[in-house]
Amino acid sequence: MQKSIVLPSTEETELKQFILKITKGAARKDLIQVLQAVQERHGYLPKESLRLIAVNLGVSFSEVYGVATFYHQFRLQPPGMYVIQVCMGTGCHAKGNADNFEHLRLLLDLKHGQHLTKDKVFSLEAARCFGCCSLAPVVMVTDSTGDYQRLYGHVDQKALKKILAEYREKAKKQESEPERKLIVYPKK
């Protein structure tokens, strides 16, 4: 049905098979769901996946890229082990989450436009409203597999420091476990 694409690593073959599987019987209208499925599995949308999706759905690469860059949900860069999302809704802004964001950038030593820390433990994102405005300002921590998610309310500089320390500790523990995999498959 389609041209075979030579992929070097096992990870990429795996990606190719997964995309083949989910695009089976899918049409142009299912593009968003397909992208969501790939992101759920891989934590982000590798460039190669966009090409494969385009080929399999019979649409142009530019169209897939256009959709993937239009919506907030899609990430084109690999996330850190933990993704810290800072809510940028009105309620949180009024309670000073913009300062919290800056402070996190400082704590994580991120330069402007950079979102992933050097050790790849954290990535920082600005999020739209989580709808938990009564706990404003809020910060959400998600692990890259999406299985774990926790929202922290009423955060300030001290709380942020504590949160970072907690997850650094967790990351260390995970690192020391030999069985750790880069890609953890969702249970679904």
> What are the residues binding another protein (CB under 8 A)?
28-33, 35-36, 66-67, 70-74, 88-91, 93-95, 98-99, 102-103, 106, 127-136, 138, 151, 153, 157-158
Check: CB of residue 79 under 8 Å from CB of residue 44.
yes
Q: What is the maximum alpha-carbon separation in the chain?
A: 57
> Which residue, 28 or 181, has its beta carbon nearer to another protein?
28
Check: CB of residue 48 under 8 Å from CB of residue 12.
yes
CB of 179 to another protein, least distance (A): 27
Check: CB of residue 56 under 8 Å from CB of residue 19.
yes
CB of 85 to another protein, least distance (A): 9
> Which residue, 98 or 184, has its beta carbon nearer to another protein?
98
CB of 42 to another protein, least distance (A): 16
Tokens standing for residue 64? 């897939």
* CB-based burial label for 66 (10 Å; 0-12, 13-18, 19+): exposed
> Which residue, 99 or 119, has its beta carbon nearer to another protein?
99
> Which residue, 12 or 30, has its beta carbon nearer to another protein?
30
CB of 28 to another protein, least distance (A): 6
Task: Calculate Rg over the CA atoms of the chain.
Answer: 18
